[in-house]
Amino acid sequence: MKYSALSTFTGVCLSTLLLQRASSLSSRLPSSRLHSTSSPSPSLPSAALLQFPVSSSKSSNFATLSARVHDVMSGPSPPCLLVLPEVWNSPYATSAFADYAEELPSLESRGKPKSESANLLRTLASTYKVHIIGGSVPERCPEGSIYNTCLVYGPEGDLLAKHRKVHLFDIDVPGGIKFKESDTLSPGGQLLTGFSHPTLGYVGVGICYDLRFPELSLLHASRSCNVLAFPGAFNMTTGPAHWSLLLRARAVDCQCYVLACSPARTKAPDVPGPHKHYEAYGHSM
Protein backbone atom coordinates (compact mmCIF):
# COMPACT_ATOMS: atom_id res chain seq x y z
CA MET A 1 0.00 0.00 0.00
CA LYS A 2 1.34 3.42 -0.90
CA TYR A 3 1.83 5.99 1.81
CA SER A 4 -0.32 9.06 1.36
CA ALA A 5 0.70 12.55 2.43
CA LEU A 6 -1.96 12.62 5.13
CA SER A 7 -0.71 9.40 6.71
CA THR A 8 3.02 10.09 6.86
CA PHE A 9 2.64 13.85 7.27
CA THR A 10 4.91 15.06 10.04
CA GLY A 11 4.23 18.43 11.55
CA VAL A 12 1.27 20.57 12.38
CA CYS A 13 -2.30 20.32 11.15
CA LEU A 14 -4.33 23.46 11.74
CA SER A 15 -8.09 23.23 12.08
CA THR A 16 -9.90 26.55 12.10
CA LEU A 17 -12.96 26.35 14.31
CA LEU A 18 -15.76 28.66 13.25
CA LEU A 19 -17.43 28.37 16.63
CA GLN A 20 -20.83 29.83 17.23
CA ARG A 21 -21.75 30.17 20.90
CA ALA A 22 -25.36 29.02 21.25
CA SER A 23 -27.50 27.40 23.85
CA SER A 24 -28.95 24.71 21.61
CA LEU A 25 -26.98 21.89 20.02
CA SER A 26 -28.81 22.30 16.73
CA SER A 27 -27.32 25.73 16.13
CA ARG A 28 -23.71 24.44 16.00
CA LEU A 29 -22.58 23.11 12.64
CA PRO A 30 -19.44 20.93 12.54
CA SER A 31 -16.57 21.95 10.30
CA SER A 32 -12.91 21.01 9.95
CA ARG A 33 -9.95 21.48 7.62
CA LEU A 34 -7.43 18.77 6.95
CA HIS A 35 -3.75 19.65 7.24
CA SER A 36 -4.20 23.31 6.35
CA THR A 37 -0.82 24.93 5.70
CA SER A 38 -2.24 28.43 5.50
CA SER A 39 -2.41 30.61 8.58
CA PRO A 40 -5.91 30.90 10.08
CA SER A 41 -7.53 34.26 10.41
CA PRO A 42 -6.40 35.97 13.63
CA SER A 43 -10.06 36.56 14.49
CA LEU A 44 -10.89 32.84 14.47
CA PRO A 45 -9.79 30.31 17.08
CA SER A 46 -7.72 27.41 15.81
CA ALA A 47 -6.43 24.08 17.11
CA ALA A 48 -3.17 22.43 16.10
CA LEU A 49 -3.01 18.64 15.74
CA LEU A 50 0.60 17.57 16.26
CA GLN A 51 1.02 14.45 14.13
CA PHE A 52 4.57 13.11 14.35
CA PRO A 53 6.40 9.76 14.18
CA VAL A 54 6.85 7.99 17.51
CA SER A 55 10.06 6.06 18.10
CA SER A 56 11.28 3.61 20.74
CA SER A 57 13.42 6.39 22.28
CA LYS A 58 11.51 8.36 24.88
CA SER A 59 14.07 11.19 24.81
CA SER A 60 13.77 11.41 21.01
CA ASN A 61 9.98 11.62 21.31
CA PHE A 62 10.36 14.42 23.87
CA ALA A 63 12.62 16.34 21.49
CA THR A 64 10.24 15.84 18.56
CA LEU A 65 7.26 17.07 20.56
CA SER A 66 9.15 20.11 21.85
CA ALA A 67 10.20 21.06 18.33
CA ARG A 68 6.68 20.70 16.95
CA VAL A 69 5.20 22.86 19.72
CA HIS A 70 7.87 25.52 19.18
CA ASP A 71 7.19 25.54 15.43
CA VAL A 72 3.45 26.04 15.70
CA MET A 73 3.51 28.48 18.60
CA SER A 74 6.17 30.64 16.94
CA GLY A 75 3.96 31.35 13.92
CA PRO A 76 2.08 34.58 13.27
CA SER A 77 -1.26 33.20 14.51
CA PRO A 78 -0.59 30.63 17.22
CA PRO A 79 -3.48 28.27 18.02
CA CYS A 80 -5.35 28.33 21.31
CA LEU A 81 -5.34 24.53 21.65
CA LEU A 82 -2.80 21.78 20.90
CA VAL A 83 -3.77 18.12 20.55
CA LEU A 84 -1.14 15.35 20.71
CA PRO A 85 -1.31 11.74 19.42
CA GLU A 86 -2.25 8.67 21.39
CA VAL A 87 0.77 7.04 23.11
CA TRP A 88 3.28 9.62 21.91
CA ASN A 89 6.12 8.73 24.31
CA SER A 90 6.19 4.97 23.70
CA PRO A 91 5.87 2.36 20.98
CA TYR A 92 2.23 1.35 20.59
CA ALA A 93 2.71 -2.24 21.70
CA THR A 94 1.23 -4.15 24.62
CA SER A 95 4.73 -5.40 25.44
CA ALA A 96 6.00 -1.80 25.67
CA PHE A 97 3.37 -0.21 27.87
CA ALA A 98 4.78 -1.49 31.17
CA ASP A 99 8.34 -0.54 30.20
CA TYR A 100 7.39 3.05 29.31
CA ALA A 101 4.71 3.62 31.95
CA GLU A 102 5.11 6.51 34.38
CA GLU A 103 3.38 7.49 37.61
CA LEU A 104 1.20 10.40 36.51
CA PRO A 105 -0.08 13.20 38.75
CA SER A 106 -3.60 13.35 40.10
CA LEU A 107 -5.85 16.37 39.66
CA GLU A 108 -5.09 17.29 43.25
CA SER A 109 -1.32 17.29 42.68
CA ARG A 110 0.63 20.52 42.89
CA GLY A 111 4.13 21.44 41.78
CA LYS A 112 6.49 19.62 39.45
CA PRO A 113 5.26 16.11 38.51
CA LYS A 114 7.49 13.07 39.04
CA SER A 115 6.58 11.92 35.54
CA GLU A 116 8.96 13.11 32.80
CA SER A 117 6.16 13.13 30.23
CA ALA A 118 3.75 15.05 32.47
CA ASN A 119 6.46 17.55 33.38
CA LEU A 120 7.21 18.18 29.71
CA LEU A 121 3.53 18.81 28.95
CA ARG A 122 3.26 21.14 31.94
CA THR A 123 6.39 23.04 30.90
CA LEU A 124 5.28 23.43 27.28
CA ALA A 125 1.80 24.61 28.27
CA SER A 126 3.12 27.23 30.69
CA THR A 127 5.99 28.35 28.43
CA TYR A 128 3.78 28.96 25.40
CA LYS A 129 0.64 29.91 27.36
CA VAL A 130 -1.56 27.40 25.56
CA HIS A 131 -3.99 24.61 26.43
CA ILE A 132 -2.55 21.17 25.63
CA ILE A 133 -4.54 17.95 25.30
CA GLY A 134 -1.58 15.69 25.90
CA GLY A 135 -2.46 12.75 23.68
CA SER A 136 -1.89 9.78 25.94
CA VAL A 137 0.92 8.00 27.74
CA PRO A 138 1.03 4.69 29.64
CA GLU A 139 0.30 5.33 33.32
CA ARG A 140 1.49 3.05 36.13
CA CYS A 141 -0.44 3.13 39.40
CA PRO A 142 1.00 2.12 42.78
CA GLU A 143 -1.13 -1.03 42.94
CA GLY A 144 0.30 -2.18 39.60
CA SER A 145 -2.49 -1.28 37.16
CA ILE A 146 -1.49 0.34 33.87
CA TYR A 147 -3.76 2.76 32.06
CA ASN A 148 -3.73 4.59 28.73
CA THR A 149 -4.05 8.13 30.06
CA CYS A 150 -4.53 11.63 28.68
CA LEU A 151 -3.48 14.72 30.67
CA VAL A 152 -4.78 18.19 29.85
CA TYR A 153 -2.69 21.18 30.92
CA GLY A 154 -3.64 24.86 30.92
CA PRO A 155 -1.58 27.97 30.14
CA GLU A 156 -0.50 28.37 33.77
CA GLY A 157 0.82 24.82 33.91
CA ASP A 158 -2.15 23.57 35.90
CA LEU A 159 -3.56 20.07 35.32
CA LEU A 160 -7.13 20.64 34.13
CA ALA A 161 -8.29 17.11 33.30
CA LYS A 162 -7.18 13.49 33.32
CA HIS A 163 -8.82 10.79 31.21
CA ARG A 164 -8.06 7.09 31.34
CA LYS A 165 -9.13 5.24 28.18
CA VAL A 166 -12.43 3.54 28.97
CA HIS A 167 -12.88 1.23 25.98
CA LEU A 168 -9.83 -0.96 25.45
CA PHE A 169 -8.94 -1.97 21.92
CA ASP A 170 -9.19 -5.76 21.63
CA ILE A 171 -9.45 -6.92 18.04
CA ASP A 172 -8.73 -10.00 15.96
CA VAL A 173 -9.41 -9.54 12.24
CA PRO A 174 -8.40 -12.60 10.20
CA GLY A 175 -5.91 -11.48 7.60
CA GLY A 176 -5.83 -8.01 9.18
CA ILE A 177 -4.63 -7.30 12.69
CA LYS A 178 -4.67 -8.88 16.12
CA PHE A 179 -4.19 -6.55 19.05
CA LYS A 180 -5.35 -6.87 22.65
CA GLU A 181 -4.82 -3.88 24.91
CA SER A 182 -6.42 -5.71 27.83
CA ASP A 183 -3.37 -8.00 27.95
CA THR A 184 -1.59 -5.09 29.65
CA LEU A 185 -3.96 -2.19 30.25
CA SER A 186 -6.85 -1.68 32.63
CA PRO A 187 -9.96 0.29 31.58
CA GLY A 188 -10.59 3.71 33.04
CA GLY A 189 -13.54 4.06 35.38
CA GLN A 190 -14.67 7.60 34.54
CA LEU A 191 -16.77 8.09 31.42
CA LEU A 192 -16.79 11.86 31.10
CA THR A 193 -13.64 13.94 31.11
CA GLY A 194 -13.69 17.51 29.93
CA PHE A 195 -12.55 21.04 30.66
CA SER A 196 -13.61 24.61 30.05
CA HIS A 197 -11.63 26.57 27.47
CA PRO A 198 -11.97 30.38 27.55
CA THR A 199 -12.45 30.59 23.77
CA LEU A 200 -13.78 27.19 22.72
CA GLY A 201 -16.10 26.52 25.64
CA TYR A 202 -16.56 23.01 26.99
CA VAL A 203 -14.14 20.49 25.43
CA GLY A 204 -14.76 16.76 25.92
CA VAL A 205 -11.90 14.27 25.80
CA GLY A 206 -11.78 10.60 24.79
CA ILE A 207 -9.03 8.28 23.58
CA CYS A 208 -9.09 6.29 20.32
CA TYR A 209 -11.55 3.38 20.76
CA ASP A 210 -13.72 5.57 23.01
CA LEU A 211 -14.69 7.16 19.68
CA ARG A 212 -16.40 3.94 18.59
CA PHE A 213 -19.17 4.21 21.19
CA PRO A 214 -21.56 7.12 20.50
CA GLU A 215 -23.06 7.09 23.99
CA LEU A 216 -19.91 8.60 25.50
CA SER A 217 -19.87 11.45 22.98
CA LEU A 218 -23.61 12.02 23.39
CA LEU A 219 -23.14 12.39 27.14
CA HIS A 220 -20.64 15.13 26.41
CA ALA A 221 -23.15 16.71 24.01
CA SER A 222 -25.73 16.76 26.79
CA ARG A 223 -23.34 19.11 28.61
CA SER A 224 -23.41 21.52 25.65
CA CYS A 225 -20.04 20.36 24.41
CA ASN A 226 -18.52 22.56 21.68
CA VAL A 227 -15.50 20.40 20.84
CA LEU A 228 -14.68 16.69 21.19
CA ALA A 229 -11.02 15.69 21.05
CA PHE A 230 -9.80 12.14 20.44
CA PRO A 231 -6.11 11.31 20.41
CA GLY A 232 -6.08 8.03 18.48
CA ALA A 233 -3.87 5.49 16.77
CA PHE A 234 -6.10 3.60 14.36
CA ASN A 235 -4.23 1.02 12.28
CA MET A 236 -4.14 0.02 8.62
CA THR A 237 -7.12 -2.32 9.02
CA THR A 238 -9.50 -0.12 11.04
CA GLY A 239 -8.22 3.25 9.81
CA PRO A 240 -9.30 3.17 6.16
CA ALA A 241 -12.65 1.64 7.10
CA HIS A 242 -13.63 3.57 10.22
CA TRP A 243 -11.43 6.58 11.11
CA SER A 244 -13.01 9.35 9.05
CA LEU A 245 -16.44 7.70 9.16
CA LEU A 246 -16.58 7.58 12.97
CA LEU A 247 -15.21 11.09 13.42
CA ARG A 248 -17.78 12.53 11.04
CA ALA A 249 -20.51 10.44 12.66
CA ARG A 250 -19.71 11.81 16.13
CA ALA A 251 -19.75 15.36 14.72
CA VAL A 252 -23.17 14.76 13.20
CA ASP A 253 -24.50 12.93 16.27
CA CYS A 254 -23.40 15.62 18.69
CA GLN A 255 -23.54 18.70 16.43
CA CYS A 256 -20.12 19.81 17.62
CA TYR A 257 -16.57 20.00 16.32
CA VAL A 258 -14.46 16.85 16.47
CA LEU A 259 -10.64 16.83 16.51
CA ALA A 260 -8.54 13.68 16.23
CA CYS A 261 -4.76 13.41 16.34
CA SER A 262 -2.85 10.31 15.26
CA PRO A 263 0.83 9.43 15.26
CA ALA A 264 2.38 9.64 11.80
CA ARG A 265 2.53 6.38 9.89
CA THR A 266 5.98 4.80 9.92
CA LYS A 267 7.50 1.80 8.19
CA ALA A 268 8.78 -1.15 10.17
CA PRO A 269 12.51 -0.81 10.90
CA ASP A 270 14.96 -2.92 8.92
CA VAL A 271 16.20 -4.40 12.18
CA PRO A 272 13.24 -5.41 14.40
CA GLY A 273 13.28 -3.97 17.91
CA PRO A 274 12.09 -5.58 21.14
CA HIS A 275 8.47 -4.54 20.49
CA LYS A 276 6.31 -5.38 17.49
CA HIS A 277 5.99 -2.47 15.06
CA TYR A 278 2.55 -0.84 14.93
CA GLU A 279 1.60 0.97 11.73
CA ALA A 280 -0.67 3.88 12.57
CA TYR A 281 -3.11 5.12 9.95
CA GLY A 282 -2.30 8.81 10.37
CA HIS A 283 -4.79 11.22 8.75
CA SER A 284 -5.25 13.53 11.73
CA MET A 285 -8.33 15.66 11.16
Q: Is residue 108 among the annotated active site residues?
A: no
Q: Is residue 102 among the annotated active site residues?
A: no
DSSP state of 269: P
Sequence-distant (6+) residues with CB within 8 A of 208 are 86, 136, 148, 165, 169, 230, 231, 232, 233, 234
DSSP state of 102: B
Catalytic residue among 208, 254, 256, 261: 208
Q: How far apart are CA 195 and CA 282, in angstroms?
A: 26
Return the ∠ at Cα 125 (arms to 149 and 131), rounded to 5°.
75
Sequence-distant (6+) residues with CB within 8 A of 226 are 19, 21, 28, 200, 201, 202, 203, 256, 257
Catalytic residue among 58, 80, 86, 279: 86
Q: Is residue 261 among the annotated active site residues?
A: no
Tell me the residue ranges of DSSP E strands in 94-209: 131-133, 137-140, 146-153, 159-164, 170-172, 178-180, 193-197, 201-205
Catalytic residue among 165, 225, 256, 279: 165
Residues classed as catalytic: 86, 165, 208
